[in-house]
Amino acid sequence: MHIRIACRSALVAVLLSFAAVPASAAGEGTRADRSCGDLQLTGSLPAPPVGMAVQQAVSIGVDCRPRLGEVRLTPLGRAGGTAAGAGTKDTESGWHRLSSWNEMYDCCHIRMTALYLTSHWATEGGRVVSAGADATQQWNREPWDAGWSRKSATEGVDCATGCPASRSEAHADFTYRGIFDATGAWYANTHHSYVDLKADGTAFCHFEVNLRHTFIGWNWQRGCA
């Protein structure tokens, strides 16, 4: 397989919620017996200090329930995900930059699909004077032009200039047709990432992933830096 690229201060409370929806067994045959069904995972992490990364993993247990890993605060160079150019700011000019990653891995730790969001904003006089967002996606391909494919992707901000606060966001839909399902109708991953940008320079990262059919051992990695 190859991957195609589309291009210790205390942490505040971490918010996480799960909603699991079992797959219907009707008409699905033996695949439904092995599947944990449809799953939605959501969570939030605080933006870490400059030069650090905050990250967390969520795995699917043998009972098909999500297992929450610890929140880890690590130096940026030791963080997972893609955080190049992340966690920078210029206090004098009020310029800030924050990157987040939202990745889904299978039980063999192969990254199936991923969404990366970089948010940048400038503050002055207690307001966000400018804000913007850039996003990239990654998905795993298989031989013979098979595997995961990007169906759609968008990014943007809800307020770009003269704002008391701003939210940047990115969304990506992926479908699968390949070795594990030749029909293209069984698997689909949808990623959503958000960053709430404040005029005081602080930020909070929010994540969501919606999975059509999930298996034991799948692993969700998310973080920001």
Q: In this predicted model, what pLDDT tens digit does every residue of 82-121 receive, in sequence order?
A: 544 455 555 556 789 999 999 999 999 999 999 999 999 9
The pairing of strands 66-68 and 37-46 is unpaired
DSSP per-residue string spanning 63-109: TS-EEEPPPEEEEGGG--S--TT-SEEETTTTEEEEEEEEEEE-TT-
Higher-pLDDT residue of 152 and 10 is 152
In this prediction, residue 72 carries a pLDDT of 95
HSE-CB of 96 using CA atoms within 13 angstroms = 28
pLDDT at 88: 59
State how many domains the chain has. 1
- Which tens digits make up the pLDDT trace of 36-71? 999 999 999 999 998 999 999 999 999 999 999 999
For 160, the domain range is 2-224
Residue 17 pLDDT: 37
pLDDT at 218 > cutoff 60: yes
| Beta bridge pairs of residue 138 | 5, 114
pLDDT at 201: 85
pLDDT exceeds cutoff 90 at 180: yes
| Mean pLDDT confidence for 144-156 | 97
pLDDT at 6: 33
Residue-level pLDDT at 26: 27
| 213 Cβ contact list (under 8 Å, min separation 6) | 23, 31, 35, 36, 37, 38, 186, 187
